[in-house]
Amino acid sequence: MTMPAHPITRRLALPGWSVLRFSFTLIAAVLLAASLATGILVVFWIGIPVAVGVFLAIRVWANSQRRMIGEQLGVDIPVPYRERPKRARLDQQALHLVREAATWRDFAWLAIDATLGFLVNLLYLGVFGIAVYYLVQPFLLATVFHAAPIPSINDFGFFHFDTPAQTLMLVPLALGLGFAWWRWGELFLRWYSHLGVLFLGPTANALLTARVSELRQSRDLTVDYAAAELRRIERDLHDGAQGRIAALSLTLGMAEELLHQDRPEQAAALVAEARQTCSDALEEIRDLVRGIHPPVLADRGLTGALQAMALDHPLPVSVVDRLGGKLPAPLEAAAYFATNEILTNITKHADATQVQVVVTHEHGLVRIEVRDDGRGGAAVASGGGLDGVSRRLAAFDGTLEVDSPDGGPTTVTLTIPAVAVGPAAVENKRAAGS
CATH number of 223's domain: 1.20.5
- 244: in domain: yes
Residue 259 maps to a domain = yes
| 153 plus 218 within the same structural domain | no
16 and 64 housed in the same domain: yes
User: Average model confidence (pLDDT) for the chain?
Assistant: 78
Please check whether residues 279 and 319 belong to one and the same domain: no
Q: Which of 138, 173, 200 is the last residue of a domain?
A: 200
Cα 376 to Cα 349: distance, rounded to the nearest angstrom: 9
Residue 316, domain member (yes or no): yes
How many CA atoms lie within 13 Å of 150's alpha carbon, on the beta-carbon side?
21
Tell me if 408 is assigned to some domain. yes
Q: Do residues 36 and 111 both lie within one domain?
A: yes
Closest residue by Cα to residue 418 from 363, 369, 370: 363
Whether 2 maps to a domain, the answer reads: no
The residues, ordered by sequence, that sit 6+ positions from 164 with a Cβ below 8 Å of its Cβ are: 138, 141, 142, 146
Same structural domain for residues 174 and 70? yes
- Counting Cα atoms < 13 Å in the Cβ hemisphere of 431 gives 6
Instruction: Please tell me whether residues 140 and 42 are part of one structural domain.
Output: yes
User: Angle at Cα 306 formed by Cα 301 and Cα 307, nearest 5°?
Assistant: 100
Q: Over the stretch 157-169, which tens digit does the pLDDT of each residue have?
A: 555 566 666 667 7
- Give the H or E element holding residue 173: helix 171-200
* Closest among 130, 45, 129, 150 to 90, alpha carbons compared: 45
For 71-100, what is each residue's pLDDT tens digit? Answer: 888 888 888 887 777 777 766 777 777 788
Alpha-carbon distance of 176 to 182, in angstroms, equals 10
DSSP E strands, 281-354: 317-322
Domains of the chain: total: 3
- Residue 1 lies inside a defined structural domain of this protein: no
- Residue 273 confidence (pLDDT) above 70: yes
- Structural domain for 247, as ranges: 207-292
Most confident of 309-313, 330-334, 368-372: 368-372
Residue 114 domain-assigned?
yes
Averaged over 296-308, what is the pLDDT? 77
237 found inside a domain: yes
Given 292, 318, 346, which residue is the final one in a domain? Answer: 292
DSSP state of 364: T
> pLDDT digits over 214-264, tens only?
667 666 666 665 666 667 667 766 666 677 777 777 888 887 787 788 788
Residues 129 and 230 in one domain: no
pLDDT at 127: 92
Are 113 and 255 within one domain? no
Tell me how crowded residue 128 is: count the other CB atoms within 10 A of its CB: 19
pLDDT at residue 61 is higher than 90? yes
Predicted TM-score (pTM) of the model is 0.55
